[in-house]
Amino acid sequence: MGETNWSQDVCLGCDRQTDGKAYCGEGCRLAEYMRTISRCKANSPASHQVPISSPTRSSNNFYLPPACDFRQQKSSTSGQVQLPKEVRRELDAYASSFDQFRQHRRQSVKEIESREKCLCTLINNAGVSGNTLETEAKTADEMKKNLFNAENSTCDDWCSTFRTNVPQLFFMTAAFLPLLEKSSEVHHGYSGTVINISSISGMVQSSQHHFGYNASKAAAIQLTKLLASEVANNGLKVKINSIAPGIFPSEMTAGGSGEDQKSHIDKEKY
């Protein structure tokens, strides 16, 4: 795929007007990404720099990220790969965050182990809804504006929604498997149970104005099936199921239903 001449005043990342630049300077993830890559290049030894291509798009308008390869950056003393300090700092932050997450799970397991001989039921109920988007449109351009150009249509929103709604189920279940397995030993004829709270939104074909949330709940349902299958294949006596409720009054939905959408039964009827 060849590069396209993007001389028109449109940002590659968010389609804002840019006065002839490839990407805008404010509020655009692509702009931040390109600035980070430029800083990485500036902090790298000249002999180890790899050319960074200009942002391009393929013919179907999907963004193609610039090339930035630091695999050749090796220490002259150890022979190990030495990434620029800004890249190392960001990777260390991700690693630290994940290490803290796993440590918290370990602490939770130890807390339960200190109090109970087993864990009979684990309910994974954490969830966030993410941003909502307008889906109704009369033209393709209008739909693009609603879904792609919208200020709240961000990769960060998708990632944060998935981070809460999907991997939490996996790691919590995996961490407590030994305690759940012990339920069949402590209570004869009983097996430990995992209940993942998903949503009817993960089963319907409509986006319901929140693509990220519905996709994450569909992933949660599939993840439940995968965990149940692997646990069964290993002969563990642990049941893993999901419940997909519809909308009901909660902190997440408190402002979502109008008065005409609430069910009611006159008390005089009974």
Known active-site residue 250: no
- To the query of whether residue 7 is one of the catalytic residues in this protein, the response is no
Return the bridge partners of 120, or none: none
Terminal CA-to-CA distance of the chain, rounded, Å?
A: 71
Catalytic residue selected from 44, 183, 199, 213? 213
| Alpha helices for 148-235 (secondary structure H) | 155-165, 167-181, 183-186, 211-233
Q: Is 54 a catalytic residue?
A: no
Beta bridge pairs of residue 241: 195
Residue 174: name the closest of 242, 113, 228 by CA.
228
Q: Whose CA is closest to 239, among 188, 185, 173?
A: 173
Q: Is 34 exposed, middle or buried (0-12, 13-18, 19+ CB in 10 A)?
A: buried
> Which position among 44, 129, 198, 199 bears the catalytic label?
198
- For residue 124, the cross-strand partners are 196
Of the residues 44, 129, 199, 217, which is catalytic? Answer: 217
Active site residues: 198, 213, 217
